[in-house]
Amino acid sequence: MDVRAQISMMFHLDKCIGCHTCSVACKNIWTDREGTEYMWWNNVETKPGTGYPTKWEEQDKYKGGWEQKGKSIKLKVADKASTFTNIFHQPHMPTVDDYYEPWTYNYGELFDAKAGDDQPTARAVSLLTGKHIDIKSGPNWDDDLGGSSIYAKNDPNMENLSEAQKEAFFEMERMVIFYLPRICNHCLNPTCVASCPSGALYKRGEDGIVLLDQNACRGWRFCISGCPYKKTFYNWKSGKSEKCILCYPRLESGQAPACFHSCVGRIRYLGVLLYDADKIEATASASEEELVELQREMILDPHDPEVIAQAEQNGVHFSMIEAAQKSPVYKFVKEWKMALPLHPEFRTLPMLFYIPPLLPVLGYVDKGLYKVDAEDYFGSLDRARLPMQYLASLFAAGNEEQVRMPLEKLLAVRSYRRFKEVGDVDSAELEAMLKKTGLTEEACEEIYRLTSLPTIEDRFVIPASHREYATELAMNDDSNTFRAEIGFGGFKGRIERGL
């Protein structure tokens, strides 16, 4: 058992209001420089929709992630031989049209316009060429209901739906959307790290954050193609790649990342998970039906004395172990099994988990009173406006049962709160719901508190870095830096503990 610590995240999609405050916070701090105009390390997509960059989920086009090869896995984007053959040619990258051409406005035409009969306007100007452009797309172009007939119909996750289900999406009285915030997943088996020929990308040994060494980067951009989530970007000004760093300077001082701290809906949770690194290859190589559950099994109980002893032997500081014991992510992912990884079939073992949105109509109105269909309470999931197959394609590699389980638990918690506050749910019916979902009243109460009434300390359990260890590492780098390799069937990336 090789116990390591990983800073992990969880987003509660049932609470996201799509305000993009997280995106603006990140943009103002990290990507407001020349060469980064089109970058959104944090973006919020409307689903169903094609996302940013367009159709990023289509790996037949972009060759991101891993694929099975016998009992192991290999990179989709390249192997060693083809990489060195085509090192200066990368055909599987998104183009600026797949993102969008960033623009500003020529405000001089507006403010300095001479008096006249016509209203002056500020025309859009490309930030890349400096020439006037007609705006045709943007990072949130299909936000909310805009462009559904064009964008939502081209969502790759709709391929497995029947024609009737697809058409139901676009009936105005049944139209449904939800928001999907995305940042770098800081995966356990990152393809960006394994595909980089220069070894510029690495995973920090102390907390698992995936970083990109600007001094080592040669701008070959295999990381961009390799990342199936398209969360590595190319800076056209510096000729280097860039990506989300999870605001690690803030984490090291015990503060939440900017997008987490600014989240209006309080949908974001951050904590530490302890995992068994010996199981990475076996888990990533498993069948698609097993991926979600096997990834959960990799996560270890931070209260287990054997796990604690092995973690300390591996150099995991006790403050990280304490944080893992209080982690809200551990509770939602491992204890309650309510949070799921995004597209586990990419086999990167992402460390950003999502609670799927609960969008069905739960009951009906009778003479002004809200009624709950207690006899077939969970059956409402099958009659939902959002088909279960769609959510399963997003969060469970098509395994509908894996998505149904957290949704039933969300319904059970809502029923429990109605029982407590309104009293219109029969105790026998509630008991049957809890028995089916495996929850207790105590668990329902804790889920409710952590979902609806959490403090900032409840949502973000962050172990601050220890300055004395950083000083020791700086003085004795050669002897105190831990290095290991990750990746299978292609380039080996590196994990480093040190500065």
**Is residue 499 predicted with pLDDT exceeding 70?**
no
Q: What pLDDT is attached to residue 385? A: 72
Average pLDDT on 46-62 reads 91
Cα 415 to Cα 465: distance, rounded to the nearest angstrom = 42
Q: What pLDDT is attached to residue 369? A: 45
Average pLDDT on 67-78 reads 86
Q: What pLDDT is attached to residue 120? A: 87
Name which of 108-112, 171-175, 269-273, 338-342 the model is least confident about. Answer: 171-175
105 membership: H or E segment, kind and range? strand 103-105
Place of tokens 């209901």: 145
Place of tokens 């990533």: 284
Mean pLDDT of the chain: 86
Average pLDDT on 466-473 reads 52
The answer to whether residue 19 sits within a structural domain is no
pTM for the full predicted model = 0.90
Name which of 250-259, 443-452, 481-490 the model is least confident about. Answer: 481-490
**Is residue 481 predicted with pLDDT exceeding 60?**
no
CATH of the domain at 346: 3.30.70.20
**Is residue 242 predicted with pLDDT exceeding 50?**
yes
The answer to whether residue 413 sits within a structural domain is yes
**Is residue 315 predicted with pLDDT exceeding 50?**
yes
**Is residue 161 predicted with pLDDT exceeding 50?**
yes
C-alpha closest to that of 67 among 342, 292, 291, 340: 291
CB proximity list for 224: less than 8 A, separation 6 or greater = 90, 93, 94, 192, 230, 232, 233, 234, 241
Confidence of residue 498 (pLDDT cuts 50, 70, 90): very low
Beta strands across the sheet bearing 493-497: 210-212, 201-204, 493-497, 482-486
C-alpha closest to that of 20 among 185, 172, 180: 180
Q: Cite the DSSP H helix spans in 220-377.
A: 222-226, 248-252, 258-261, 280-284, 291-298, 305-313, 318-325, 328-330
**Domain count of the chain?**
1
**Is residue 11 predicted with pLDDT exceeding 60?**
yes
Q: Are 384 and 359 in contact (CB under 8 A)?
A: yes
**Is residue 185 predicted with pLDDT exceeding 80?**
yes
The answer to whether residue 384 sits within a structural domain is yes
C-alpha closest to that of 407 among 423, 395, 398: 395
Q: What pLDDT is attached to residue 21? A: 96
The answer to whether residue 486 sits within a structural domain is no
Q: What would the two tokens of residue 147 be? A: 């462009």
**Is residue 102 predicted with pLDDT exceeding 70?**
yes
The answer to whether residue 373 sits within a structural domain is yes
Average pLDDT on 117-121 reads 86
Name which of 184-188, 277-281, 410-414, 468-472 the model is least confident about. Answer: 468-472
The answer to whether residue 180 sits within a structural domain is no
Average pLDDT on 140-167 reads 78
Report percent pLDDT > 90 for the chain. Answer: 60
Q: What pLDDT is attached to residue 147? A: 52
Q: What pLDDT is attached to residue 489? A: 46
In 3-state terms, what secondary structure has residue 74?
strand
Q: Are 178 and 386 in contact (CB under 8 A)?
A: yes
Cα 395 to Cα 337: distance, rounded to the nearest angstrom = 13
Q: What pLDDT is attached to residue 474? A: 43
Average pLDDT on 49-59 reads 92
Q: What pLDDT is attached to residue 83? A: 64
- Domain holding 379, by residue range, is 265-459
CB proximity list for 108: less than 8 A, separation 6 or greater = none
Q: What pLDDT is attached to residue 108? A: 85
The answer to whether residue 204 sits within a structural domain is no
- Indicate the angle between helix axes 400-421 and 441-452, nearest 10 degrees: 90
Confidence of residue 152 (pLDDT cuts 50, 70, 90): confident
The answer to whether residue 296 sits within a structural domain is yes
Confidence of residue 497 (pLDDT cuts 50, 70, 90): very low
**Is residue 80 predicted with pLDDT exceeding 80?**
no
Q: What pLDDT is attached to residue 373? A: 54
Confidence of residue 466 (pLDDT cuts 50, 70, 90): low
C-alpha closest to that of 104 among 76, 140, 131: 131
pLDDT tens digit string along 371-415? 555 556 676 777 677 788 999 999 999 999 999 999 999 999 999
